[in-house]
Amino acid sequence: MTKPVRLFPVILSGGSGSRLWPLSREEFPKQLQPLISEKSLLQETAQRLGAAPPGAAFEVQPPLVVCNEAHRFIVAEQLRAIGVEPKAVIIEPQGRNTAPAAAVAALLLEEAPDDLMLIMPSDHSVRDPEAFRAAVAIAVDVAREGRLVTFGIKPDAPATAYGYIKRGGALGKHAFKVETFVEKPDAATATRFLREGGYDWNGGIFLCPVGLYLSELARGEPAIVPACRRALQEGKNDLFFFRLDAKAFAEVPSQSIDYGVMEKTDKAAVVPVDMGWSDVGSWSALHQETAHDASGNTTLGDVIALETQNTYIRSEKQLTAVIGLKDAIVVVTPDAVLVADKAHDQAVKKVVEQLKAQGRTEATAQNRTYRPWGWFQNIDEGHRFKVKRICVKPGAQLSLQKHWHRSEHWVVVTGTAIVTRNEEEFQLRENESTFLPAGTIHRLSNPGQVELHMIEVQSGEYVGEDDIVRIADNYGREGQSDAQPRKIAKSVKAAAKIAAKVAKKARRKIHRKAAPSPAARRRVRRRVVRPRAPLISTRKVAPQVASKVAVKAAPKAAPKPVKPAKAKPRKAPPKPGGKPPRKPTKPRKRK
């Protein structure tokens, strides 16, 4: 009896899942979400193969996972939650498609070239895992004969969203040579393939020896393997991840396994399998994978559906009511709503592209953002303020950090918090709060056994997420800061500082004596002629502030001395025999 061969699952988890927007976005794509069951698609993929049955020709080893930097902590946490300890979690600095990702995993295993790799996307669904395991057992025997095996999905409809594989000559009872790969056909061609038989969907799952994959990739795409090797050699360990060198990996050509290897090799084989496979590549595909009611509707969340048929309705937040819809998609998230005809659900990618062109954050970012210590969710945001809900996992803590442009007010809702504020450290319980001015070095920790939930109110001239300087961090992010202190005019700062001092002195004087206006009037009555100096010196005050202070503090001017009235000349007496003088008449007022 031959010795069982080692089989390493290689899980590719670098996709963005934009076809399931607004639920799936770059920061939290579909493979990390529980779309069909209580587990995420990544977790289902990691558990799909399970342990090899007794007497099998292979031994299942810990998986290798390839993901991007933004998802690394979520991937590690989800694998830990299901008890899977990976052999390696490899961080791609940037996406380079599936061929380089699998090549990096193969290079990590190249010391044993006869070991097998089972390469699987992390965002697919399989309703019948037993059928999948049976197909893997068949493929192992074929791969040990020097073949690159792909799994052909038995078609149940003339789908135009998948590529097709045409079977060639038989390789035993359940495997075939690959005669040709066919690109996504039109509807008429797909219908003909289904009628003729001998065609399978290309599911993008492969099983092959490590050494054979590297040699066939080097033959078909000579530049990929050396560049991946360089990125691996110049990479480094980062906590429990392996980080590929960004500069070296940027030189790796982008290519898929289908184009770079399978279509160029003469060693390709296919194992047909009917396992209830779906790539969950659209809202219509997701609707097919979920439970329906009597009218063919799927309703998730707070939903009311009246006179509606064959419709997928999902609400992540508020009550959603639909009436009279048919063959539609309705998805409501805290910051976006999608309503689409199922016949046009592939156009969702165009919506995402338009949002990116407009610079909208809704294209890539979720309302809830996940971090290695927990998550935060934006509740409200406006000019110079932002309100967040923060959840910190038990035993976790945020980085020791500071912000240049914003102050923060923390209120504990549930749980217990340990707060570091500059040199002091103290505890906050439910309904207690603290204030952190801008520039304060601070940290938040959860020492308890339950989640810590709190409300954070940010205020300041800038409340963006990049305004952060990490001084110490448990997750290897020290010193990272995308924001720099904004330069504010020194003259404006100085004037404001002096004005504050002047106002403070003025308030003190008002408390000690009478208001300045009555006091000034009394001094005027006592000393009319004496000139007075201003109450507050303005030599060190900025011109704008000094003018206002001087105007308010100056006393009222002394009354002008009254000039003596001039004596009126006496009128001469009338001459004898003359007429008496006329009385002066008053001028008439014009109306």
Read off the tokens for 458.
């940010």
- What CA–CA distance (Å, rounded) separates 382 from 368? 17
Q: Is residue 374 part of a domain?
A: yes
- Residue 462: which H helix or E strand, with range? none
Dihedrals φ, ψ of 17, to 5°? 60, 40
Q: Where are the alpha helices (DSSP H) in 290-404?
A: 348-357
DSSP SS3 for 395: coil
> Does the structure show a pLDDT above 80 at 91?
yes
pLDDT at 577: 54
Q: Is residue 492 part of a domain?
A: no
Q: Is residue 308 part of a domain?
A: yes
- Residue 375: which CATH number? 2.60.120.10
Kindly compute the dihedral angle of the four CA atoms of residues 213, 214, 220, 225, in this order, to the nearest 10 degrees. Answer: 140
Indicate the length of the chain as a whole number: 591
Q: Is residue 232 part of a domain?
A: yes
Of the candidate ranges 115-124, 451-460, 491-500, the one whose mean pLDDT is the lowest: 491-500
Question: What's the average model confidence in pLDDT over 145-161?
Answer: 92
Residues whose CB is less than 8 angstroms from the CB of residue 187 and which lie 6 or more positions away in sequence, other chains included = 158, 160
Q: Are both 157 and 306 inside the same structural domain?
A: no
Q: Are both 193 and 249 inside the same structural domain?
A: yes
Residue 10, domain extent? 5-280
Q: For residue 450, how many C-alpha atoms fall within 13 Å in the half-sphere facing its CB?
A: 8
Q: Are both 330 and 197 inside the same structural domain?
A: no
Q: Are both 271 and 301 inside the same structural domain?
A: no
Q: Of 416, 443, 472, which marks where a domain is finished? A: 472
State the pLDDT confidence band at 494, using cuts at 50, 70 and 90.
very low
Q: Are both 141 and 226 inside the same structural domain?
A: yes
Q: Of 360, 381, 401, which marks where a domain is finished? A: 360
Q: Is residue 186 part of a domain?
A: yes
CA 104 to chain centre: 27
pLDDT at 479: 54
Question: What's the average model confidence in pLDDT over 342-360?
Answer: 93
Q: 30 and 139 in contact (C-beta within 8 Å)?
A: no
List 237's β-bridge partners, or say none.
242
Q: Give the angle 163-167-169 at the CA atoms, nearest 5°.
A: 160
Residues whose CB is less than 8 angstroms from the CB of residue 415 and which lie 6 or more positions away in sequence, other chains included = 392, 430, 446, 448, 450, 451, 452, 453, 454
Q: Directed axis angle between helix 98-108 and helix 224-233, to 10°?
A: 60
Q: Are both 334 and 272 inside the same structural domain?
A: no
Q: Of 225, 246, 280, which marks where a domain is finished? A: 280
3-state helix, strand, coil in the chain (%, to 5): 30, 30, 45
Q: Is residue 155 part of a domain?
A: yes
State the pLDDT confidence band at 179, using cuts at 50, 70 and 90.
very high
State the pLDDT confidence band at 487, using cuts at 50, 70 and 90.
very low
State the pLDDT confidence band at 51, using cuts at 50, 70 and 90.
confident
Of the candidate ranges 17-21, 112-116, 150-154, 481-485, the one whose mean pLDDT is the lowest: 481-485
- What CA–CA distance (Å, rounded) separates 426 from 432? 12
pLDDT at 541: 45
> Quick one: which of 154, 130, 149 has its CA closest to 139?
149
Q: Are both 182 and 248 inside the same structural domain?
A: yes
Q: Is residue 255 part of a domain?
A: yes
- What CA–CA distance (Å, rounded) separates 588 from 586? 6
Q: Are both 197 and 315 inside the same structural domain?
A: no
Q: Are both 185 and 241 inside the same structural domain?
A: yes
Question: Whole-angstrom distance between the N-terminal and C-terminal Cα of the chain?
Answer: 130
CA 510 to chain centre: 53
Q: How many domains does the chain have?
A: 3
CA 206 to chain centre: 31
Q: Are both 264 and 319 inside the same structural domain?
A: no
Q: Are both 47 and 103 inside the same structural domain?
A: yes
Question: What's the average model confidence in pLDDT over 70-87?
Answer: 92
- Residue 139: which H helix or E strand, with range? helix 129-143
Q: Indicate the pTM of the whole model.
A: 0.76
State the pLDDT confidence band at 130, using cuts at 50, 70 and 90.
very high
Q: 486 and 493 in contact (C-beta within 8 Å)?
A: no
Q: 177 and 269 in contact (C-beta within 8 Å)?
A: yes
Q: Is residue 529 part of a domain?
A: no
- Residue 266: which CATH number? 3.90.550.10
Q: Are both 222 and 264 inside the same structural domain?
A: yes
Q: For residue 149, how many C-alpha atoms fall within 13 Å in the half-sphere facing its CB?
A: 27
